[in-house]
Amino acid sequence: MFEVGLYHYITLAAVLFSIGLYGVLSSRNAIRVLMCIELMLNAVNINLVAFNNFINIEDLGGQVFSIFILTVSAAEASVGLAILIALYRSRKSVDMERFNLLKW
């Protein structure tokens, strides 16, 4: 196989991101949407860490940044879940089809 370079990691991150994207767009269960959002965020993390490793190993800026993304995604997941619970209580379901008030 050829040398594993930055390009591989970025393609991997891209693939992961699109799988996450597809999950967000197509899944019926709200929780699965949350999961897929996490996936997308992790893809970004991979990218950052890969850049850090392949471009300038001494300056760990990339990794610091991925930590921040970590915090943000954690916050986001928790708030997302809270909203989901509230939605579930009022709508008695998590089926994305049911939340269709966003129209004229």
Partner 1 sequence: MDETTFAGLYQFGFWVFAATMVAGALGVVFHRSIVYSALMLLITFLSIAAVFVLLNAPFIAAAQVLVYAVGLTIVLIFGIMLTGDKPFVDPVGQERPNRFWLMPAVASTIFLGFLIWALLYPTMGFSGINGIFVSLMDPATNPATLPSVQAISTDGGITVIGQLLFSRYLIPFEVASILLLLAMMGAILLSKRTFPEEEGETLATVETIEPYAPQVNIEGNTPSLSSSHSEVEEKETLGVH
Partner 2 sequence: MSNAVQDLVWLIPVYPLIAFLIIVLGRWTGLLKPMSGSPFVILATALGLIHTLLFLGNWGPAYTAVEQNWTWLQAGALQLPIGYFIDGTGMMMLLVVTSVSLLIQIYTHGYMGHDPGYSRFYAYLALFNFSMLSLVLSSNLFQMYIFWEMVGVSSYLLIGFWFTRPSAAAAATKAFLMNRVGDFGLLIGILTLLYFSWTYWQGLDPQQLLSFSQMDGAARTALAAAGPVAFTVMAILIFMGPMAKSAQLPLHTWLPDAMEGPTPISALIHAATMVAAGVFLIARMYPVFTISPNAMMIIAWIGALTAFVAATIALTQVDIKKALAYSTMSQLGYMVLAMGLGAYSAGLFHLMTHAYFKAMLFLCSGSVIHGCHEEQDMRKMGGLMKYMPITGITYLIGTIAITGVLPFAGFWSKDEIIASAAEQPLLFMIAIATAAMTAFYMFRTYFMTFHGTYRGHGHPHESPKVMTMPLAILAVPSVILGFALSGFFGLPAFSQYVSFGHAHHHDPNLGVMGLSILVALGGFLVAWLMYGQAKVIDPARIASAFKPVHTLLWNKWYFDQAYGFFARNIYLSFASLSAWFDRTVIDGIVGLTAGTVNASGGAMRALQNGRVQSYLVIFFIAVVLLTVVLMWMV
| Residue list 53-92, contact with partner 1 (CB under 8 A) | 53-55, 57, 60-61, 63-64, 66-68, 70-79, 81-86, 88-92
Out of partner 1, partner 2, none, what residue 77 binds, judged by CB under 5 to 8 A for its kind, is partner 1
Backbone angles phi, psi at 102, to 5 degrees: -80, 50
Can you read off the two tokens belonging to residue 7?
């390009």
Q: Which amino acid belongs to residue 26?
A: S
Contact between 90 and partner 2 by CB under 8 A: the answer reads no
Contact between 101 and partner 2 by CB under 8 A: the answer reads yes
Contact between 42 and partner 1 by CB under 8 A: the answer reads yes
C-beta closer to partner 1: residue 4 or 104: 4
| Residue list 26-85, contact with partner 2 (CB under 8 A) | 26
**Which spans of this chain sit near partner 2 (rule: CB under 8 A)?**
21, 24-26, 96-97, 99-104
